[in-house]
Structures are given as C-alpha cells and as structure tokens.
Amino acid sequence: SAVISQKPSRDICQRGTSLTIQCQVDSQVTMMFWYRQQPGQSLTLIATANQGSEATYESGFVIDKFPISRPNLTFSTLTVSNMSPEDSSIYLCSVRDRGLHYGYTFGSGTRLTVV
Amino acid sequence: AQSVTQPDIHITVSEGASLELRCNYSYGATPYLFWYVQSPGQGLQLLLKYFSGDTLVQGIKGFEAEFKRSQSSFNLRKPSVHWSDAAEYFCAVLSGGKLIFGQGTELSVKP
C-alpha cells in the first residue's frame, strides 16, 4: 500500500498566522484528499486536490482559508490561513490506494493547536 | 444524501469478550463500505472494505464485517477483543469518489 509522509506532525501557532502542511506519497496518485478532524469529532472532507487543476472544495470550506497546491502526482500542501482557535484540529491527507485494491490510505495527521 | 450512522458513541468490553460495532448507511445504490481504526494520536488504518461479492468480509487484526442490504448495515465484529484494540473506529461509505464517515465509536477494553 502507499506510504504517506505528512509534516509537521504537530504545531502550536499564534492566531492570525498561517501554517502549511505537506503531504508526500511514495507513489503517483491521481487524487489526494484533505480532511479535518475537530476535537472529539469525525472526519470532514475539506477538498480534493487534483494535479494540474484547482482543488475542489466541499461546502463550508473556501480557497482563501484553505489554499491547496498539487504540483505533481506525489505531493500536495494544505495551508490553514489567518488561523483562529476554532481551527485547532487534526488535519489529514488521504489517497486512493491501488495497493489496497482501492481502499483509501491516510497520513498520520497534523495536530494543530491555535493559541 | 448519503450518510453513515454509528449509533454507539462509546462501548466498553472486557478483554477476551466478543465485539460488535454497529454501522448503518444511507445510500441509493450498492454501497462501497469501509471500516477504519484510529489509535490515540495516530492516523487512520483501513481494517476492511466491501465493494461487492461475499457479504462477509475478512480484515486485518482478526476483524470481520457483514454487509446486510436488507438492514442497511455493515457491522464490525471480532470474536475475542485484545487490550490493544482500544481505539476509535470509523465506518465510511464511498460517495462520488469521496469517503463519508460516521461519527465514530470509541472502544474501551477492560482487563
């Protein structure tokens, strides 16, 4: 199955600043996904990152707040902009994994605390 | 809209006892269903998935799940729970190429 490296694993940030999270996959994948997991909650899809085109955002998420880059088939970044304490969450990237017969593999997540 | 419901927020079982975690889905066509486990401070690990065929699916770590179309359910089972199984378990359905997750069930294991 695919191996995903996600950085940073955790961070504590000041409100009003931005954090960029990186997701590196050890194989080429067509689609990458970014999720948010608020404390004690389930996972909510933020956007789908497509190589060569703009990301597709889910309802309630906007590009100005969560800009995404997808420069190639193995890498993506998610930026959390102008952070507030409400952005404190775990952010996870995911890929559709041929090695898992099209299951979805997740990175280990970025635990973000905004103070 | 497609959705997944996990009725039990928290379950506690004794080590060695059997386990069943419930999952109900709402989906118009044949669903693609998944169970994931999230250990504390970790990402999600795929336990098993159902796409078609045999309705009893075997997964990793001794888990299995049974797809029951008549009940719109995909319950996860394990015959004998180990202390290391304590974690959060998520059921998910694939919709439009995206995973939709249930609220999760937290499993605690008593010695």
A29 has pLDDT over 70: yes
pLDDT score of A92: 96
* Mean pLDDT value across chain B: 93
From chain A, pick out residues whose CB is under 8 angstroms from the CB of B99. Answer: 33, 43, 45, 94, 104
Contact indicator for B9, B105 with CB cutoff of 8 Å: yes
Q: Is the pLDDT of residue A19 over 80?
A: yes
Least CB-CB distance to A48: which of B45, B98, B100?
Answer: B98
Omega of the bond leading into A39 within 30 degrees of 0 (cis): no
pLDDT surpassing 80 at residue A99: no
Sheet strand arrangement including A68-72? A4-7, A19-25, A75-80, A68-72
Burial class (CB in 10 A: 0-12, 13-18, 19+), A87: buried
Closest residue, chain B, to A110 (C-alpha): B43
* Angle formed at CA B46 by CA A59 and CA A111, multiple of 5 degrees: 55
Residue A2 has pLDDT above 90, yes or no: no
Residue A101: what pLDDT?
Answer: 67
pLDDT grade, residue A96 (50/70/90)?
A: confident
Query: Would you state the pLDDT for residue A52?
Result: 80
Nearest to B30 by CA among B64, B1, B67: B67
Cross-chain Cβ contact B43/A104 below 8 Å: no
Average pLDDT over all residues of chain A: 93
CA–CA gap between residue B64 and residue B78 (Å, rounded): 6
Distance CA A73, CA A6 (A): 15
Interchain CB contact of B60 with A (< 8 Å): no
Q: What percentage of chain A reaches a pLDDT higher than 90? A: 81
A100 pLDDT band, cuts 50/70/90, is low
Token readout for A70 is 């997808």
Residues of A in contact with B42 (CB under 8 A): 108-109
Q: Is the predicted pLDDT of residue B1 greater than 90, yes or no?
A: no
Chain A residues within an 8 Å CB radius of B97: 31, 48, 96
- Within 8 A of A96 by CB-CB distance, chain B residues are 97
Q: Cβ contact (<8 Å) for B43 and A108? A: yes
Percent above pLDDT 70 for chain B: 100
> Per residue in B74-94, pLDDT tens?
999 999 999 999 999 999 999
Residue in chain B nearest A5 by alpha carbon: B43
Hey, which residues does B34 pair with through a beta bridge? B49, B92
